[in-house]
Amino acid sequence: MSVQSPAVVGPLAALFAQTRADGRAALIGYLPAGFPTVPGAIAAMRAMVEGGVDAVEVGLPYSDPLLDGPTIQAAVDHALSSGVTTTDVFDTVRQVADSGVPTMVMSYWNPIERFGVDRFADELFAAGGAGVITADITPDEAGEWVSASDRVGLARIFLVAPSSTDARIGLTTAATTGFVYAAAVMGVTGARTHVGSAAQSLVERTKRATALPVCVGLGVSSGDQAAEIAKYADGVIVGSAFVRALLDAESLDAGVDAARALAADLRAGIDRSGRPA
């Protein structure tokens, strides 16, 4: 299979150029907008950046998150019950992007389609968004999103999984313009005690198909795990562990501090791992 030239757009291009120059993987952190409150989520995301996160995924709360485990579902349910809207998501992106890091939205397709695909692209771009990770739509079903994201210059990030065939990986990476999201394990999101060998195999298979950065997510919860993944991936994505830090905190301030501390631990793991393959 031939390797395609990378197509990294917007702020993500500068991020991965910098991390390559630094000889390390990028650290990408996720939290849903509006959890525990809209201002609280913004404070936690900015604290994550202070702790060492290089880019942030802002989750768009959705009532049927099929790929999310109980930790993220609990946070999303809380945000929805508090009345969080897509406009709140854009406001969150704007304030997190002001901290100087690429800020993306992670969303299921239904909320984007319901909001209006072109309108969503326009408003996210206006808020300073870097791109969108679409969790449940494949490139062959995403023609409208391909057009809208190309029009405004948003990165378009699709997922590959251990079950993906080489042909599917090729199709997916050909349509991707930010980085490839490699789901390390089969199943829903959630912190795990270890990330199995499937992650490295998936990264190796994906890198045979594309020169795009390949970032690994689903299951990472500690600096040691981040160090392990950073040896072979271009980025380490952490979500449930940040959500858990807020869920377990006795107060918002304590949760913000816990998110900052977790980011620092994860970043330290990445920094000691050396240059990714």
Tell me if 125 sits within 8 A of 149, measured CB to CB.
no
Quote the CA–CA distance of 242 and 125 in Å, as a whole number: 25
Count of beta carbons in the 10 Å neighbourhood of residue 66: 9
Check if 68 is active-site.
yes
Catalytic residue among 54, 68, 228, 271: 68
Catalytic residue among 54, 57, 228, 234: 57
Q: Give the residue from 103, 27, 99, 46 showing the smallest Cα distance to 267.
A: 27
Quote the CA–CA distance of 40 and 11 in Å, as a whole number: 25
Residue 159 structure tokens: 């997922």
> C-alpha angle 58/61/62, rounded to 5°?
140
Catalytic residues: 57, 68
